[in-house]
Amino acid sequence: MLESLGWLASSPWIYAVVALSVLLDVFLPVLPSGVLVITAATAAAAGTTTATSVAGRVPGEVPSLLILILCAATASVLGDLVAYRLARRGGDRFDRAIARSRRLTKAQARLGATLARGGGALVVIARFAPAGRSVVSLGAGAAQRRAREFLPWSALAGVAWAGYSVGLGYFGGQWLGASWVGAAVSVGALFAAGAVAAYVMRRRPAPQPATETA
């Protein structure tokens, strides 16, 4: 993995690619945003990258962990905000699309009641679950929740996810070496967290929707 992505991890463009991938995966959950974050963090753990040129091997810049976290977290919040705004302004057509999906309908009701009670743990948990970010962001907008109820939790979720992903890549590289083994173990740990988050979301009881809306 590092051999194939080393040229990118050694370039400042890694931050733009990570940010764009995280921004868009709220609409395209198949994008490997988490894998990119982990790969860049693993390259940082290595201290050097495998960037090459026609003249031979050349040293590359080591990605900054802090900048990686800031880029990933900021892009996560911006993507959530875009999805939230689109769903909030979607009107009846979007409501009908929500109604056709049992998963989205349940998530919308659960999230609306949770935010109305002043809690947002579901937003943070959903950030780790496969497609959970999409369901929660669209559900919050479709439920017409106020931005101040949703965005602080979205920001916390983005920071938690970005910090966890960067930490996996960095410490995996430190402990297992900057190789495909270390990266694979780190990615596996990210997927494991996603599976746990998905299980918790399914097991949480769905409260009655709150009557108060924006």
CA gap 161, 155 in Å, rounded: 10
The answer as to whether 133 is a domain residue is yes
The answer as to whether 79 is a domain residue is yes
Nearest 5 degrees, angle CA 198-CA 187-CA 2? Answer: 155
pLDDT in tens, 105-130: 666 666 656 665 556 788 898 899 88
What per-residue confidence (pLDDT) applies to 139? 79
Could you tell me which residues are beta bridge partners of residue 52?
57
What per-residue confidence (pLDDT) applies to 132? 83
CA max distance for the chain:
67
Res. 36: pLDDT tops 70: yes
CA gap 148, 143 in Å, rounded: 14
The answer as to whether 210 is a domain residue is no
pLDDT in tens, 133-177: 888 888 788 778 788 888 999 999 999 999 999 999 888 878 876
Residue 190 domain boundaries: 2-203
Full-prediction pTM beyond 0.85?
A: no
The answer as to whether 214 is a domain residue is no
Taking alpha carbons only, the member of 129, 153, 146, 144 closest to residue 202 is 129
CA gap 10, 143 in Å, rounded: 43
Alpha helices (H) along 11-146: 13-24, 33-46, 65-88, 91-99, 102-116, 121-128, 132-142
Residue 123 and residue 133 in contact, taking contact as beta carbons nearer than 8 Å: no
The answer as to whether 212 is a domain residue is no
Tell me the three state secondary structure of residue 178: coil
The answer as to whether 208 is a domain residue is no
Q: Which two tokens stand for residue 2?
A: 């590092």
The answer as to whether 108 is a domain residue is yes
User: What is the total count of domains within the chain?
Assistant: 1
The answer as to whether 213 is a domain residue is no
